[in-house]
Amino acid sequence: MIHSQSTRFGRLFQLLLAAFVVVAPGQPVALLAQRTPMAAMGGNSDDAGSLVGHERILLVLPFDNLADAAGPARLAGTAIGTATKSATPSTAATPEAIKAADLSSLDWIREAVPEILNSRLTSAGFLPLSREDRLYALDHLGLPETFQPSRATALRLAQTLDADSIVIGNYAVRGSTLTLKARIVDVPRLKISEEITVSGEISQLIPLLNSLAWQITRKLDPGFGVAEETFRAAGSKLRLDAFEQYVRGLTEQDTAERLRHLKKATDLSPDFTEAWLATGKLQFANQQYEQSAVSFGKVKHGDPAELEAGFYRGLSLMFTGNYPKAEEAFAAVARVLPLPEVVNNEAVASSRRGQNAVALFRQASAADATDADYHFNLAVSLHHHGDKADALAEMAQSLKLKPNDGEARAAEASWKNGTDAGTAGAGGTAEPIERIKRSYNGAAFRQAALMLDAVEAARLAALPGAERAARLSKTAHDKLDRGLLLESEREYQAALAADDHSAEAHAGLAEVRERAGDNDAARKEAQASLDRKPNLEAEMVLARLDLAANRLPEARDHAAEAVRLDGSSRAAKDLRKVIDTRIESHPVADEKTAVAPKPETAAKP
């Protein structure tokens, strides 16, 4: 991230690649969690379907409101626009109210743009910098978070954050029509792209931003294969009014107001992960640890924010004294990404339960040998469990890294003098306790996750095409079950690149197309799947499509075939019952479809 932090990163990518060489396929990679600069994270995985990500790190800046004469001319170089204001301003977020809203109440769109674009670009495999990253950089440059940067300042921000590209733009509202315009600045080459424009009803803000994200992705990677319909369908369950409340909850200056907006967001959309995460962070910052533990716990298993929420939930539980649950929370994160701060906190929770956590403290210290606190904690734990010599050695190393650490120096002197904690009342020094790592470095977590993906992609690339396609299809199916359409399509596309004869990949892609509303493409993929091998999933897609199109005979045939292929499938049986019921309630003259109504059905109006 910031250059001053980058010096801590170092060898993780090389260590992971080395781990790939020595670890057999199918075995977990031991993550030695050093940190590496984000700029070193580029590269695709070719045969694995470019799943690891792209070389570009992106900085998406808030979009200027063209009603603000001070902004657009500085960044995008466009003419100043004006928009019609309503005579009755409203801050309500229903589509009807938004259409009639005064422009001043729509300023939240400024921050809404990077929220959506960052989410979609992350799903597309890029490395967009978060809002927290941007605010940190502004603070690093001595600028307020509401600062609207000139092009020169935007370049300074990008360079501070090691970004390769900047997305800049503006929006304008005229009546009920919203127009969004964006450009991409290539930072190393100092080139700016042609303008990308989307326009539509303001009530369709999220789909419009999704389309803009797709066009930006195609500009950055012309070979990107995920369909625009899949982008537009992403986040389709999110209510626009809930999203507005979430953005206002991020940007309000008053804490009580921020919490009020975030509560509205979660009330309107109970599954809105980002809103729960923001609520938890705000409660955590206000030391409302019991409440924050509950909020972080609302982030579901498998969600992209699961690791961050798990880390902060562990801290919240730790600060309420619930050490067993805190240890569980940190251990769950560490099983996926054993970064040193996570392992350290797991060890602290374990130690405070009276367990021997020396091994965990050693793991954290080995993972980041430059952090004095890890050596300090290991020294305290070693001393507590009777290993005096090693304890002194670790404390010496801690003091070497942090010479002005008064607590460490006092503990070392006490141990050398043979003064135990129990003699503190007689002039000794009380035994210190292990230190908790309170900060979550989101960049480090994202980088480590991408590195693990890189290692897994390298493993996949070494497999025969059919086996690689099968594994990719399985992970794509898992993501589809969690509603991650964009990520799922990327992996199905990668599976087909590995083996175009994969019936599973075509069937999965058919379901993605179906959920995205592209029925013609869904039908085509389902038929391609059946051409390769009869299978339940493709038959189910065709049955649902025919049912939706009121093609009941065809729907019944596909459902019957699905049941024949897998008689244990509850979903297939239920779908067949639905189709049979529809046919019975709508009898037709054709012999193939005519079904005599049951007596009780015929008696009903």
Enclosing H/E stretch for 58? strand 57-60
CATH of region 57-220, choose from 3.40.50.10540, 3.40.50.10610, 3.60.20.10, 3.30.230.10: 3.40.50.10610
Reduced to 3 states, what is the DSSP secondary structure of residue 374?
helix
Evaluate if pTM is beyond 0.95: no
Alpha carbon distance 556, 552 (integer Å): 6
Per-domain residue ranges of the chain = 57-220, 465-602
* pLDDT value at residue 31: 29
pLDDT at 269: 94
Backbone angles phi, psi at 170, to 5 degrees: -150, 170
Pairing of strands 177-186, 64-65: unpaired
Q: How far is the C-alpha of 473 from the C-alpha of 511, rounded, in Å?
A: 12
- Tell me the average pLDDT across 164-177: 92
Look over the chain and give the mean of its residue pLDDT values, rounded to a whole number: 81
Cα 283 from chain centroid? 21
pLDDT band (50, 70, 90) for residue 443: low
Residue 42 pLDDT more than 70? no
Does pLDDT of 34 surpass 50? no
How much is the average pLDDT of 38-45?
Answer: 32
What is the arithmetic mean of pLDDT over 160-188? 92
Q: At what angle do helices 255-268 and 273-285 cross, to 10 degrees?
A: 150
Domains 57-220 and 465-602 share a fold: no
pLDDT per residue as tens digits for the range 193-222: 999 999 999 999 999 999 999 999 999 999
For the cut 70, the answer to whether the pLDDT of residue 3 exceeds it is no
Residue 94: which pLDDT band, with cuts at 50, 70 and 90?
A: very low
Domain 465-602 homologous superfamily, CATH: Tetratricopeptide repeat domain (1.25.40.10)
Does the pLDDT value for residue 300 go beyond 50? yes
Cα–Cα distance for residue pair 285/281, rounded to 1 Å: 6
User: Which residues fall within 8 angstroms of residue 230, CB to CB, at 6 or more apart?
Assistant: 485, 486, 489, 512, 513, 516
Question: Residue 37 corresponds to which tokens in the numbers above?
Answer: 């600069």
Residues shown for the chain: 605
Which of 31-40, 62-71, 100-109, 357-366 is least confident?
A: 31-40
- Residues contacting 464, CB < 8 A, separation 6+: none
Report the 10 Å Cβ neighbour count for 602: 10
Check residue 482 and give its pLDDT.
86
Question: Could you tell me whether strands 177-186 and 57-60 are parallel, antiparallel, or unpaired per DSSP bridges?
Answer: unpaired
Section 433-438 average pLDDT: 94
CA distance 329 to 168: 39
Rounded Cα distance between 464 and 47, Å, is 10
More confident residue, 268 or 458: 268
What CA–CA distance (Å, rounded) separates 597 from 595? 6
- More confident call, 358 vs 235: 358
* Gap between the Cα atoms of 204 and 236, Å rounded: 10
Model confidence band, residue 591 (pLDDT cutoffs 50, 70, 90): very low
Rounded CA gap, 434 and 383, in Å? 11
Cβ contacts of 326 within 8 Å, gap of 6 or more: 314, 315, 317, 318, 345, 349
> Per the structure block, which two tokens stand in for 187?
């930072």
Amino acid at 459: R
pLDDT at 81 over 60: no
Instruction: Tell me how far apart the alpha carbons of residues 165 and 312 are, in angstroms, rounded to a whole number.
Output: 31
Q: Which of 79, 81, 80, 72 is nearest to 169 (CA)?
A: 72
Region 397-412: mean pLDDT is 95
Q: Give 155's Cβ-side CA count (13 Å radius).
A: 13
- What DSSP designation does 345 have? H
